[in-house]
Amino acid sequence: MDEFSIEIIVKDMERDEKRIKWLIQGLTWLCFIGILISFTHTYEQKILSKDQQIQMYKARWETRDKAATYYKQQLELERAKHGSTQK
């Protein structure tokens, strides 16, 4: 092997090494971005789930408040009826 062919082989190896390094960096960033997107999606789902739970509890309390108001009015009507008949 002469000097020229060794230089060509060394240059090819250096070029391949740079290409491999570039590909590894690209894959690393791609994985990093994929993980960030996954975490973001999971966090967003948790927030949506909590918002849905809050809305459900609000609706439940509104229903309880309406029921309490209704029964309070019914009780006042009953008391008014019994109070007016007792006089």
Q: pTM here?
A: 0.51
Query: Would you place residue 86 in the very low, low, confident or very high pLDDT band (cuts 50, 70, 90)?
Result: low
Find the largest Cα–Cα distance for the chain. 127
Give the integer Cα–Cα distance in Å for 39 and 44: 8
- pLDDT, residue 1, reads 56
Q: Which residue has the tokens 């009953």?
A: 78
Q: Which residue has the tokens 């070029």?
A: 15
Task: Write the pLDDT tens digit of every residue in 40-63.
Answer: 999 999 888 988 899 999 999 999
Give the integer Cα–Cα distance in Å for 40 and 66: 39
How is residue 75 written in tokens? 């009780």
